[in-house]
Amino acid sequence: MTPNQTGALLMAGSMAAYTFNDTLVKLVGGALPLPQILTIRGLAASCLILLLALRLGSLRLNLSGAAWGMLALRCVFEVANTYLFLTALMLMPIANVTAVLQVLPLAVTLSAALFLQEPVGWRRLAAIAVGFCGMLLIVRPGPEGFSEGALYALAAVACITARDLVTRRMPPEVPSMTVTLSASVSVLLFGIAASATTEWQPMGSTEIMALMGAALFILAGYLFSVMTMRVGEVAVVAPFRYSGLIWALILGWAVFGEWPDLLTLAGAAIVAGAGIFTLYRERRQARRAKA
């Protein structure tokens, strides 16, 4: 296999792992409060990530004050995103939430142009506008505005965008494993704090296995995503992130009996198409800059 083919498979595997995690969390969401889910899953995931980081020797904690400040800010957005996304996941079909999140690359590109002064041509701006129109087909605000689930999903997109912009400004001295572990621990601490005002529910073997499986899928998703960045061209393998939408459609139908209507599917196709076109334009611009 070529490096690009390997990278594409790893990206698809990463998206599958994250979507299976979402499915397991949604599956137990009706029986367990969110703080309990975040605490148990976060504890298992943090331990697994720590073991992996120590095994790879890629954990570094002697960082500068500026680096710790950026890391703390990123953790704030990570916690907010996790809470908002999982709340939306409990209120909306998994495919709909996943489809809304596919607008993320467009939101990051637009925000980088607005706040980081990164150059973006008119073609990519047009694609971003088309992509946001596709998103409106998914969330479809009515006379009263957006639904509660759609508001949570859109707020999650905003927090993930802010998190990714902070990550772009992260000093190179911060290893990716340190970033990942800090994010996982911050979500765990939020779950523990929120549990102080929430009554935990008894868990059976089904709930325990689902949460342990979710932690394993989070670890797999991260590991595959790291491996993806080490093989192939980013612009070639990045479009395969949209394979997560296919997994969401399959799992939503198989596990929850959910299937989006035609307008939602059309909106998802428009968002994915706009995102892939934007990635294609970014690749062309990068090649011209090197020439």
Residue-level pLDDT, tens digit, the chain, 291 residues: 678 788 889 888 989 999 999 999 999 998 999 999 999 999 999 999 999 888 888 888 888 888 899 999 999 999 999 999 999 999 999 999 999 988 888 887 888 788 877 777 888 889 889 988 988 888 887 656 578 899 999 999 999 889 888 887 888 888 888 888 999 999 999 999 999 999 999 999 999 999 999 999 988 888 887 677 667 666 677 778 888 899 999 999 999 999 999 999 999 999 988 888 887 777 777 676 666
What's the confidence (pLDDT) of residue 211?
94
CA atoms of 219 and 150, how far apart (whole Å): 27
Tokens of 23: 């499915």
CA atoms of 88 and 60, how far apart (whole Å): 34
Asked if residues 89 and 117 have their Cβ atoms less than 8 Å apart, the reply is: no
HEC-encoded secondary structure of the chain: CCHHHHHHHHHHHHHHHHHHHHHHHHHHHCCCCHHHHHHHHHHHHHHHHHHHHHHHCCCCCCCCHHHHHHHHHHHHHHHHHHHHHHHHHHHCCHHHHHHHHCCHHHHHHHHHHHHCCCCCCHHHHHHHHHHHHHHHHHHCCECCECCHHHHHHHHHHHHHHHHHHHHHCCCCCCCHHHHHHHHHHHHHHHHHHHHCCCCCCCCCHHHHHHHHHHHHHHHHHHHHHHHHCCCCCHHHHHHHHHHHHHHHHHHHHHHHCCCCCHHHHHHHHHHHHHHHHHHHHHHHHHHHHHC
CA atoms of 236 and 214, how far apart (whole Å): 28
Torsion of CA 75, 78, 79, 81, to 10 degrees: 160
What's the confidence (pLDDT) of residue 223?
80
What's the confidence (pLDDT) of residue 176?
81
Query: Of 213, 212, 187, 153, which is closest to residue 20 (Cα–Cα)?
Result: 213
> C-alpha distances in angstroms, 115 versus 31, 73, 122, 149, 201?
41, 16, 17, 28, 44
Asked if residues 99 and 32 have their Cβ atoms less than 8 Å apart, the reply is: no
Tokens of 120: 């973006």
CA atoms of 5 and 236, how far apart (whole Å): 9
Tokens of 172: 């190179």
| CB burial string 178-198: b at 16+ within 10 A, e below | bbbbbbbbbbbbbbeebbeee
What's the confidence (pLDDT) of residue 144?
61
What's the confidence (pLDDT) of residue 53?
87
Contacts of 245 (CB under 8 A, 6+ apart): 95, 98, 99, 102, 268, 272
